Amino acid sequence: MKLHGIHVPHKKNTAHLQPVRLEPPKTVAIPMSMHIGRPAKPVVKRGDEVKVGTLIAEADGYISAPIHSSVSGKVQKIDEITIMNGSKVPCILIDSDGLQTPDESITPPEVHDLGSFIDAVKNSGSVGLGGAGFPTFVKFVTKDLSVFKYVIINAAECEPYITSDTRTMLDRTDSIRKGIEAMKKYLGVKTFIIGIEDNKPEAIAKMKELASQTDGVTVKVLPAMYPQGGEKVLIYNCTGKIVPKGGLPLDVGAIVINVTTLAFIAEYLETGMPLVEKCVTVDGSAVKEPKNVIAPIGMSIADLLEAAGGCREEPAKVLYGGPMMGIAVPTLDSPVLKNTNAIVAMDSREAKPPRTTPCINCGSCINHCPLKLDPREIAISYKMNDAESLEKLCVDLCMECGCCSFICPAHRPLVQTNKLAKFVLRQYQNSKKEGK
């Protein structure tokens, strides 16, 4: 089986720029939903004093993650914020005192076995920092350690513009190594594969040096073809194994972990400081001075853009993430989230959507889909509201990477249609479960 994809412009303009640590803003707005799963539950109230690393919200359920203050100061209020999917969630606003005083209770966690390792990762607030936002600790939960055959470290960073993972590989190499050693010790995994695209020569050199000094680690240099960083794509291209439909990486013995997530876990084990800041690439055609920054979680996008010299013109579109899978922000007051790896601000020329014309049945969308889906037939079935056909077409497998829309000569909104079709299929499947 050959997995396909597309060649996208790299635009790695900031790969050579070390991150600049930003001063805390006057106020941070920290949403309770910065991860897949249930929103966190606030444990502070208006007027409470907090410090950097203070727990402000606890995980509410199994698939959830605790949240910590990114600044020292006072809780202004608990309000609501509109998040990327359009829903409203609680949000804790904290007025910073500018001192960034760490919480005095922070100490390195006591880790001595798998259970305490999992507890530490959970308490750190770690989620997938490559953009997915899945609570990290869940990946390590098992009753049988023998199921873990290998760890794939996702260092592909295949989206245009984004270089925050590249900076992790260049600047935090030792943390990556320590993260590997921790996973070896507590998960018993002996084989580690660093999957990285060939358009990052300096990072490849760093990772090969790490591998030469660390038993069981190999570097898999992959063609720079989007979406190389997609979980199932990366597993196949690194191991030749295919995750079954509806399955998880663990079904083929794999754990996939983002390279920055791995580095953070190692740093948490050493310091006890939870996830309170994020390295973010600020770039795009509207940005005056593209750069990488280290920003407190909850800092506004407006402040990030200001730190990058402001905009050449009023941005026509601003994205969380890259131009392929990024989500447009509703307002520049939107905050940096745990899984924000880039803010891309586009000018009016770059953001203008192309004119759509009728399908010419060229098959490009099928030929370039990494999972060999048929976006053309999916669009027809969606228009007919034919959920049974959508089920047969396996639209639920779509990773929403956008290859189909990018490659379509008619510029049809195929990935957007796929998203809508997945919603129709979910409604149909839920109604079947309920016996309607």
Token output for 239: 């191991």
Helix axes of 173-187 and 259-271: crossing angle, nearest 10 degrees? 80
Model confidence pLDDT, tens digit, residues 154-179: 999 999 999 999 999 999 999 999 99
Q: Quick one: pLDDT at residue 1? A: 46
Q: What is the pTM of this model?
A: 0.94
What average pLDDT does this structure show over 133-142?
A: 91
Tell whether the model's pLDDT for residue 114 goes beyond 60.
yes
Tell whether the model's pLDDT for residue 87 goes beyond 90.
no
Token output for 205: 């050199």
What average pLDDT does this structure show over 51-63?
A: 95
- Could you check whether the bond before residue 108 is cis, i.e. omega within 30 degrees of 0? no
Question: What's the mean pLDDT when you consider all of the chain?
Answer: 95
Using only the alpha carbons of the chain, give its radius of gyration: 22
Handedness of CA 90, 96, 99, 105 (dihedral sign): negative
Cβ of 271: how many Cβ atoms within 10 Å? Answer: 14
Model confidence pLDDT, tens digit, residues 359-398: 999 999 999 999 999 999 999 999 999 999 999 999 999 9
User: Quick one: which H or E segment has residue 259?
Assistant: helix 259-271
User: Quick one: which H or E segment has residue 180?
Assistant: helix 173-187
Q: In whole angstroms, what is the distance from residue 408 CA to residue 364 CA?
A: 6
Token output for 294: 């280290």
What average pLDDT does this structure show over 205-232?
A: 96
Distances (CA, A) of 2 to 125, 236, 237, 367: 37, 9, 9, 11
Q: Where are the alpha helices (DSSP H) in 25-113?
A: none
Tell whether the model's pLDDT for residue 54 goes beyond 90.
yes
Contact present, 136 and 240 (Cβ < 8 Å)? no
Model confidence pLDDT, tens digit, residues 192-203: 999 999 999 999
Token output for 48: 């409470």
